[in-house]
């Protein structure tokens, strides 16, 4: 499963890019608005310069013909741009037209497997069920991912299933177990997924033990005049 970052913050994207595990970025109008007075196209182009993978940029039109007119120039900002279209009847109509022109579409605001199937039939490259927002209303968001993956596998549908609205590391594990192709998450969740208290405790102990060993070696050297600096590889752990 690929890791995407769900943000429009260049600072966050630069930070995460260093770890070498982020293969794409998803943005939406809320995330763009958080960045303040910035040019939408410039931000997307800058993101494309940082991450070499699919970068989702969403339309804000609601009528099919307006979505199509808005999506065409967005798709030309960079070869990696994937246009995000909401899962509505107008959205489906726009997906059909745009995908037939070779424009890659990420269908957003998906909350059922049926919506995912319909978006795939219209030609979507990615479908994005929102796991966290379903959990927020006491639904089982991950079930939509499981169902969608199963249905796509049943019919050999190649549209990618992207688990969106990821809220915590458990969602990442569950999405991967369900066979999602991609999970998009905020930087905070990606950071949480890297951490474990036992990793920190274990590292602290290794370093303390190493320091103790170094000090003991130093004492021996000053007492017996032995050669300093044994190779680290010679130490048993
Ligand atoms: O980008 C779409 C989705 O990931 C948004 O998540 O946290 O706003 O429900 P959230």
DSSP code of 234?
A: G
The closest-lying atom of ligand 1 relative to the alpha carbon of residue 30 is: 8
Place of tokens 């290794």: 206
Tell me how far the alpha carbon of residue 101 lies from the centroid of ligand 1, in angstroms: 28
Instruction: Check pocket membership of 7 for ligand 1, CB cut-off 6 A.
Output: no
Q: Is 96 designated active site? A: no
Which pLDDT score is estimated for 226?
A: 53
Which pLDDT score is estimated for 234?
A: 47
Q: Which of 63, 76, 84, 104 is labelled catalytic?
A: 84
Tell me how far the alpha carbon of residue 31 lies from the centroid of ligand 1, in angstroms: 9
Continuous H helices in 123-196: 131-136, 141-155, 169-178, 187-194
Kind and range of the H or E run holding 95: helix 89-100
Instruction: Check pocket membership of 6 for ligand 1, CB cut-off 6 A.
Output: yes
- The full set of domain ranges for the chain reads 2-194, 196-237
From the options 3.20.20.70, 3.40.50.2000, 3.40.50.720, 1.20.1560.10, give the CATH code of 2-194: 3.20.20.70
Instruction: Check pocket membership of 184 for ligand 1, CB cut-off 6 A.
Output: yes
pLDDT digit string (tens) for the chain, length 237 residues: 999 999 999 999 999 999 999 999 999 999 999 999 989 999 999 999 999 999 999 999 999 999 999 999 999 999 999 999 999 999 999 999 999 999 999 999 999 999 999 999 999 999 999 999 999 999 999 999 999 999 999 999 999 999 999 999 999 999 999 999 999 999 999 999 999 999 999 999 999 999 999 999 988 888 876 554 454 544 444
Contacts of 158 (CB under 8 A, 6+ apart): 152
- For 76, the token pair is 């030309």
DSSP code of 167?
A: -
Instruction: Check pocket membership of 58 for ligand 1, CB cut-off 6 A.
Output: no
109 near 87, Cβ under 8 Å? Answer: yes
Cβ atoms within 10 Å, residue 69 = 13
């Amino acid at each position: 499963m690929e890791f995407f970052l769900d943000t429009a913050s260049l600072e966050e994207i630069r930070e995460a890019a260093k770890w070498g595990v982020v293969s794409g970025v998803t943005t939406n109008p809320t995330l763009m608005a958080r960045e303040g007075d910035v040019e939408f196209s410039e931000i997307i182009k800058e993101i494309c310069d940082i991450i070499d993978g699919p970068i989702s940029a969403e339309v804000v039109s609601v009528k099919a013909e307006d979505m199509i007119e808005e999506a065409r120039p967005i798709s030309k900002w960079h070869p990696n741009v994937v246009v995000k279209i909401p899962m509505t009847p107008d959205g489906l109509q726009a997906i059909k037209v745009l995908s037939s022109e070779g424009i890659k579409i990420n269908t957003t605001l998906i909350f059922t497997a049926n919506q995912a199937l319909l978006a795939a039939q219209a030609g979507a490259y990615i479908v994005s069920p929102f796991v966290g927002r379903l959990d927020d209303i006491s639904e089982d968001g991950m079930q939509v991912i499981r169902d969608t993956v199963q249905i796509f596998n049943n019919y050999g549908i190649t549209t990618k299933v992207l688990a969106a609205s990821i809220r915590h590391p458990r969602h990442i594990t569950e999405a991967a177990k369900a066979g999602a192709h991609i999970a998009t998450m905020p930087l905070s969740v990606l950071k949480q997924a890297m951490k474990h208290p036992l990793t920190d405790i274990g590292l602290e102990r290794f370093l303390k033990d190493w320091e103790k060993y170094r000090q003991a070696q130093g004492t021996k050297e000053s007492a017996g005049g032995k050669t300093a600096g044994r190779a680290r590889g010679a130490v048993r752990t």
